[in-house]
């Protein structure tokens, strides 16, 4: 028996769209997203919510391993309707905290984009 709770995992737009140099990580993130939906179904009876945050690019150690990341992050800030700061992870952290809180008691199997709106913009 559990007291409920939440699980939040991070993903990236490269699972939904082809992103140069992201390669097999896009496939891996798509698998993570699918797994989260199955977990949401399986764990819902125990009042455990499972959600995904699709974050915009942040300068991290992992980002350093993506060739051409610097050019990519520059484009993101100019195309995202709300702008984007690759040095500020606070919006992503706030989304995770909100999803884990009791403010989202009936949300599970969801992917929340925290990327300044970039995901919604066409070419």
Catalytic residues: 12, 22
- Report residue 4 as tokens: 């409920």
Q: What single DSSP character describes residue 36?
A: H
Counting every residue written for the chain, the total comes to 123
Within the chain, strands assigned E span 5-11, 48-55, 111-114
- The whole-angstrom separation of Cα 56 and Cα 98 is 17
Query: What are the counts of helices (DSSP H) followed by strands (DSSP E) for the chain?
Result: 4, 3
- The whole-angstrom separation of Cα 108 and Cα 6 is 9
């Amino acid at each position: 028996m559990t007291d409920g709770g939440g699980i939040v995992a991070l993903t990236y737009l490269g699972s939904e769209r082809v992103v140069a140099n992201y390669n097999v990580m896009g496939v891996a993130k798509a698998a993570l997203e699918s797994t989260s939906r199955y977990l949401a179904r399986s764990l819902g009876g125990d009042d455990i919510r499972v959600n995904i945050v699709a974050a915009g690019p942040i300068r991290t150690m992992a980002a350093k391993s993506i060739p051409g990341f610097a050019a990519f992050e520059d484009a993101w800030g100019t195309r995202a309707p709300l702008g984007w700061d690759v040095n500020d992870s606070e919006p992503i952290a706030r989304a995770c905290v909100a999803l884990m809180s009791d403010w989202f008691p009936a949300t599970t199997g969801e992917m929340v984009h925290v990327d300044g709106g970039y995901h919604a913009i066409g070419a």
